[in-house]
Structure 1
Amino acid sequence: MAHPLASLVVRHTRRVPVPEGPAGDGAAAARQLDAALASAGFKLSAELLDRLSGLSRDVVLHTAEWTLRTVGELVGDHVRHNTYFIDFPANVPDTEEFWVRCVTKALADPEARGNVLRQLAHGVVDLLTLPAYGRYQHTYDEMLAAQDELVAAAGDRVTVLHLGRDPDAELTDLYLALAGSTTPLGEEHLRDLTTLAEWAAHGPQPESIPVRENKAVVNAARLAVGADLLLDTVTDVLRLACALSGGDVTLREPTRFRALSRPARRALLAGLDALIAASPAKLADVHVHREPFKRLGERLHPHEYPRWPDAADVFAVARGEKEAPTFDSRVEKLLEASDVVGAARLLSSAPGKLFRALDHLLRLAADQEQRDAVVAAAVRAAPEVSGRVVLSVREHFQNRERETGAPRIFVDARGRGLAAPDARPPVPAADRDRLIAALDAEIRGRLPAPGRLLLDPDVLDVALPLSGRATAAGLGVLPRGSLSVVDGDLLRFFVYWKETGDRTDYDLSAVLLRSDYSTDAWLSYTSLTAVGGEHSGDITEAPDGASEFINLSLDRVRSTFVVPQVHIYAGEGFDEAEESFFGFMLRDAEQKGRPFEPRTVRVKSELRGAGRVALPLVFRREDNGRWRAKWLHLYLTGLSSENRVEEHQVSVSKVVRAVVEREYLTVWNLVELMSGGTSAVELWDGRSAPDEPVTYIGLERPEGLHPDSRVVTLENLRDLIPG
């Protein structure tokens, strides 16, 4: 039997753990699995195929069952993708023609006729009241029968599944990698860490857990087995309480605290007491989350435990009964007195806060002497700042040297994006350049010597994953700001959603922008055919799941940008629906095939952010006529209902420009620092791998690498970020 968590290994590493079971002749079953995987765009590595072939047929068939299910979910093939127009993309009607057809059918329907006539008398017809509008008029099987078979093409995606070790070893390594990540994890990875932390509670633990959300998840598992808690701040205790209540450990959303057991209450109060007893100044941290601490105090009943008086002080501060001057207020007083040097000196005791305030301090500095003091303070504090923050500040100042007039992009922790004019005065070039040089030197000193470095050219323009929240779960998904080449004649977007309870209507659209970011045209349910593209038809409810598609011939597009987007017209949000995801396929013109063909899927990205309009990525036509995608991972607040592409053209244009014109730190920037001009750097040509160990960085792991090689792919790209 397979390990119950084996699918996590495949999703995160593209490795299949070694199945347990007797030896036998499983060669035929292994070849059948390889063939079945090919239809979804996957294949077994030669090593994995050989290992499976030596196992019994029953073991291979069981492995095939859960592996096919896992890759199907990865690519979006675990659900049925129907289309409103049965032979899409063929025979898609003009919008007005289609609407008239729906009205005509309604007039021929005795039950609908009276209602339609009353609406026509007032000159307006509500499409949602027409029986033929917004609901599938045929079954999924009938749609399949109307479609041609897909013709295989050399450009179809092939993702290799590699041979893993035994399940326990793979899961332990995955747990250590996620728990010890130097960057915050996305929502799916954090959920997986929760599962793994419970499984690994008695096993090996990471040497350090830099990210506090990860620490909360691990602490919940440690508490369950009676292990010591890892607590550095009072906020660590608050996050742990959220984890124990099934709430949001990131503290972005309020948590309804549950009634906790006495052992849990004692552990939390003892932890708070020890922290404050050792450092009373940490009481100031309570102010940042006063309301959650007040609600937590109502559950912990600190008055029942007089032996922990310092813990009671935490809740007294939250209720305003005890004063605790905050660090930030002391900094503000110095800045109000124009004491920039004093503020920088004070902030040096909190290096992370100093780094986040550098731009502000440099702009407030009255003269070069003060700016020199700020830069010097930053250089001294740099070794104490996390690599993620150093790189984030480095990227920030890299963009401060540009004066293009592009708007600034603001993105909150839930992915909501807002573009606004950049009204900040510039940072003097000399100070900016000194900072950038110092930050580069700091990062260079933390990076390991890579030895022989082998690079996939396609990974060089991938943005560094400085936060897991700047991406989404799925297949082929890159961090915000990444660039990737788009090869193919036909570009086909898709969205799938399934409502939890309320009628939910998502609308897939694509707006085409000119080089100045003004609107050229769009494809949506209000414009079914335009600029060489077709929309598959509007679906207005999804109790059993629904899909919409947009088909676009890239060589017929004359616009500079294509921006796919998903609007919530009615019903549940992206994070409320039972399931929702976006993706795109690439095909050659002669391939034909069903609307959804898994092996042509290049990207499948979960839609789980806040806001009512999702902007996953933008496609840009370069000067040479080729297309590249730049990842956005943004959500606009939008309207409470009836969002349409027409209403959001201006806001979409602004955020697209803000991200397109921003320079993101990429893998190549880090490779330049890593290599330092001393290591052998080679571009992977897709041929035979070297016989010696290498450091390989690419989108996917190639076959044949030396077993002692260090391999970094999309699944563990965060490992590049130094601590």
Structure 2
Amino acid sequence: MSDLEALVIARRLRVPVDAPAGAAPGWGEAAARQLDAALLTAGFTCSPALLGRLSHLPGEAVLDLGVRVLAAVRTLAGDHVLHNAYFVDFPRNVPDTLEFWAGLLRQALLDPVTAERARPEIVDLLDFPAYGRYQHTYADLLAAHAELVPLASDRVTVLELGGSLEAETRALFLSMAGSEAPLAEEDLAALRLLAASCADEPERIPVRENRAVLNEARLAAGRPPLVDTVTDVLRLACALSGGDVTLATPTRFRSFRRAERRALLRALDAVATPAKLGDVPRHRERWKRLGERLHPHEYPLLPRAAQVFEVARGTREAPSLDSRVEAALADGRPAEAVTLLANAPGALLRRLDHLLRLSPSARDVLDAAARAAAHASGRVLLSLREHVQNRLSPAPGRVFTNRHGRAFTTPDSRPPLDREVLAHALALLDEEITRRLPDPGELIVDPDMLGVALPLSGKAVAPGLGMLPRGSISPVDGELLRFFVHWRQAERRTDYDLSALMLDDSYGDEIHVSWTNYSSGFARYSGDLTEAPEGASEFVDIRLAAATRSIIIPQVHVYAGEPFDEAAEAFFGYMTRNDEQRGLPFEPRTVRMKSDLRGSGRVALPLAFLRDGDGAWRVKWLHLYLKGYPDFNQVEGNRVTASLLVRSIVEREYLTVRYLADRLRAKGSSAAHTTYLGPAAPAELPEGARVVTPATLHELIPA
């Protein structure tokens, strides 16, 4: 399978079909139905249009395509590996923790070699031959479990018929490149692959990181880069060096070819106006290193490019807008700060809360915000709208999250803002957002979509199956909830531990299941695996009806070895099923969500499961990582931090599809087209309808 074909299937759930339709089905119809049956075992199925198109292809072509499609969707659901469990009968016959350890100790003492090595004052579980390693084969696991009984409530994800691979690749590229929200690291890598094969470009490229990736492709094709700030040139240099275009981590610049040096310096000379030189000090050290590679002194006809490096070295003054604003605020001159920010609408709106707290005239600040709103990006308006609505009531704490999902909380010490001021700010934001939204025509919204949070940033959300933005809420159906983690170490022994922290409504009275506590009434742990040269899986089983706690927080801890972003493979997900279904510990058609684990923290908090007052369960998406300790992380050591973080996310009011749907309805329309917002497109939509799913929700964020 080509990388492009796999990308289209995984990101859009569309199967590119290049071959022309034939007149006679031949045995392609039988091959198509065989493929559909194989897809069902992984929780996928062909749409009628896709099944009909495949039926008219040669059978050999259907088989070849089917192998590639099946591989892509199995990887998407986590079914591309064998998920063994430490206890062969899991979730049945899981022993008591201390009883299990005592049995290992008795067994070890009967072994002369182990008994001689053991130290009576220290009991190390890793010294026991039977601990932390599979004691049975995957075939033994298969034999120990009854076959899964399929139910209508199992997940069935529909694969739609796509156009040619070229057309599907182009559509995916334009959608990602023109995204109003920053992309995740994996999506930036996908965008780089797409950019190398697509000549077209979107009309707008609002996100600077995306622009850097496209500029790399433009330079390779001999076209000038698209830049309008000096930082755009710095990002492009990072892209050419295989570095971080987000500028979050330092890049080791390579030696550039003469043509590349000339192109970079020409681009720099074109944008290095006195007003824009103020951006240089923010990345002073990077500019110094880049200057050593570009040799600007060799290009006397590009004097403004040389000035950039003079500012970086400190031989030329270029105060930034931020420094001038901070100086005005520090000297008690908020009106001057507002005047300075008038030429930077986005910066003014991002500081609105601070300016309202410092300014003696809230009316003047709001008037400036109204003027700025007409020129700021739609994402800034939506982000500010979410911020302002959360200032209406006191928050238990403030959550700060970086681009890698690393999070921490602080008490909210900000003084409250006047409710009339907040109401005025909300009204002007609602008016501007509504004005920018497209004409929806006839608007149809699936109720399951209303709780999905708007993707104002996708940086901390790794792509995967059933993924939603942070803050989204979706229902949980089924009697059993089962978490799973799978990892495979790259070079050294790596031990990940799956755990679950369970709290009451007040985020206290905690209990847990983990490798130190295999069972806690309604929850059960599958057993501890301490190395994964060929891959290892752990599970936690929750009986929701018997749950004595209302908040369940699954966690993945790096106990020892490689962090998430260094392991050969690491992913987390959850399944739901009913008790009578039985089946293996891992059944792909019951997987509701699966995504890769990656992040700079050593404790992952992907989700939180919450029980409503009526007994129904919901899942709220977190996408958080805690820093943790270098080694030996476990649920007992971070329960306070985890509960504070989760509470801050759960009690925060996120801007969701419900808000946009209300704005679209308020806009009104007399157009004849249809806009559908839902988890997937239904078959009965009229031709030409615009379909917005979670995968394409970023396309609805106004420019």
Give TM-score, length-normalised by structure 2: 0.98
SS of 2:559 mapped into structure 1: strand
1-structure distance, mates of 2:110, 2:697: 59
Amino acid at match of 2:647: R
Map Cα deviations across residues 694-720 of structure 1 (whole Å, 9 max, x no partner).
211111222232230100001111111
Question: Is contact 2:404-2:460 (8 Å) kept?
Answer: no
Instruction: Report the Cα offset of residue 677 of structure 1.
Output: 6.6
Question: Is contact 1:19-1:63 (8 Å) kept?
Answer: no
Question: Is contact 1:505-1:571 (8 Å) kept?
Answer: yes
2-structure distance, mates of 1:534, 1:680: 56
1-structure distance, mates of 2:219, 2:79: 39
Instruction: Report the Cα offset of residue 56 of structure 1.
Output: 0.2
Name the counterpart of 2:390: 399
1-structure distance, mates of 2:673, 2:115: 74
For structure 1, the 5+ residue unaligned runs are: 682-691
Q: Give the alignment partner of residue 98 of structure 1, picking from 72, 82, 100.
A: 100
State the aligned residue count. Answer: 700
Name the counterpart of 1:714: 694
Name the counterpart of 1:135: 133
1:17 and 2:16 equivalent?
Answer: yes
Map Cα deviations across residues 168-224 of structure 1 (whole Å, 9 max, x no partner).
111111111111111111112111100000111xx2211110000000000000000
Matches within 5 A, 1:323-334: 323-334=317-328
Instruction: Report the Cα offset of residue 679 of structure 1.
Output: 5.2
2-structure distance, mates of 1:658, 1:548: 28
2-structure distance, mates of 1:423, 1:624: 34
Question: Is contact 1:151-1:590 (8 Å) kept?
Answer: yes
SS of 2:510 mapped into structure 1: strand
Question: Is contact 1:382-1:390 (8 Å) kept?
Answer: yes
Question: Is contact 1:528-1:534 (8 Å) kept?
Answer: yes
1:212 and 2:208 equivalent?
Answer: yes
The percentage of counterpart residues that share the same residue type is 55
The Cα RMSD (Å) is 1.4
2-structure distance, mates of 1:37, 1:716: 24
Question: Is contact 1:449-1:675 (8 Å) kept?
Answer: no
2-structure distance, mates of 1:82, 1:41: 20
1:611 and 2:563 equivalent?
Answer: no
Q: Give the alignment partner of residue 541 of structure 2, picking from 551, 562, 566.
A: 551
1-structure distance, mates of 2:489, 2:291: 37
Name the counterpart of 2:631: 641
Map Cα deviations across residues 42-76 of structure 1 (whole Å, 9 max, x no partner).
00001110110000001100110100000011100
1-structure distance, mates of 2:343, 2:107: 73
Matches within 5 A, 1:333-482: 333-366=327-360, 370-403=361-394, 405-482=395-472
Amino acid at match of 1:459: M
Amino acid at match of 2:213: V
Q: Give the alignment partner of residue 172 of structure 2, picking from 171, 174, 190.
A: 174
Matches within 5 A, 1:644-663: 644-663=634-653
1:107 and 2:101 equivalent?
Answer: no
2-structure distance, mates of 1:469, 1:569: 25
Map Cα deviations across residues 346-372 of structure 1 (whole Å, 9 max, x no partner).
101011110111000111123xxx211
Instruction: Report the Cα offset of residue 3 of structure 1.
Output: 5.8
SS of 1:384 mapped into structure 2: coil
Matches within 5 A, 1:490-529: 490-529=480-519
For structure 2, the 5+ residue unaligned runs are: none
Name the counterpart of 2:665: 675
Question: Is contact 1:453-1:680 (8 Å) kept?
Answer: no
2-structure distance, mates of 1:130, 1:526: 16
1-structure distance, mates of 2:129, 2:256: 52
Q: Give the alignment partner of residue 554 of structure 2, picking from 557, 564, 570.
A: 564
Name the counterpart of 1:244: 240
Question: Is contact 1:216-1:249 (8 Å) kept?
Answer: yes
Instruction: Report the Cα offset of residue 22 of structure 1.
Output: 7.3
Amino acid at match of 2:685: L
Map Cα deviations across residues 510-540 of structure 1 (whole Å, 9 max, x no partner).
0001111114210101010112221111111
Question: Is contact 2:479-2:577 (8 Å) kept?
Answer: yes
Name the counterpart of 2:285: 291
Question: Is contact 1:523-1:529 (8 Å) kept?
Answer: yes
Which segment is superposed worse, 414-423 or 294-303?
A: 294-303
Instruction: Report the Cα offset of residue 241 of structure 1.
Output: 0.8
SS of 1:43 mapped into structure 2: strand
SS of 1:103 mapped into structure 2: helix
Instruction: Report the Cα offset of residue 305 of structure 1.
Output: 2.1
Q: Give the alignment partner of residue 305 of structure 1, picking from 292, 295, 299.
A: 299
2-structure distance, mates of 1:430, 1:29: 66
Instruction: Report the Cα offset of residue 144 of structure 1.
Output: 1.5
Amino acid at match of 2:65: T
Map Cα deviations across residues 358-393 of structure 1 (whole Å, 9 max, x no partner).
000111123xxx211100000011011000010000
Instruction: Report the Cα offset of residue 4 of structure 1.
Output: 5.2
2-structure distance, mates of 1:360, 1:719: 30
Instruction: Report the Cα offset of residue 579 of structure 1.
Output: 1.4
2-structure distance, mates of 1:190, 1:385: 24
2-structure distance, mates of 1:470, 1:414: 5
1-structure distance, mates of 2:292, 2:105: 59
Name the counterpart of 1:164: 162
SS of 2:572 mapped into structure 1: strand
Map Cα deviations across residues 431-483 of structure 1 (whole Å, 9 max, x no partner).
11101100000000000111111111100011001011242211111100000
1-structure distance, mates of 2:159, 2:565: 30
SS of 2:387 mapped into structure 1: helix
Question: Is contact 2:499-2:515 (8 Å) kept?
Answer: yes
2-structure distance, mates of 1:645, 1:360: 37
Instruction: Report the Cα offset of residue 255 of structure 1.
Output: 1.1
1-structure distance, mates of 2:152, 2:91: 22
Q: Give the alignment partner of residue 268 of structure 1, picking from 226, 242, 264.
A: 264
SS of 2:196 mapped into structure 1: helix
2-structure distance, mates of 1:20, 1:4: 19
Map Cα deviations across residues 122-144 of structure 1 (whole Å, 9 max, x no partner).
1x301122111111111122211
Which segment is superposed worse, 487-496 or 319-328?
A: 319-328
1-structure distance, mates of 2:500, 2:677: 33
Question: Is contact 2:440-2:673 (8 Å) kept?
Answer: no
SS of 1:85 mapped into structure 2: coil
Question: Is contact 2:434-2:667 (8 Å) kept?
Answer: no
Instruction: Report the Cα offset of residue 17 of structure 1.
Output: 1.0
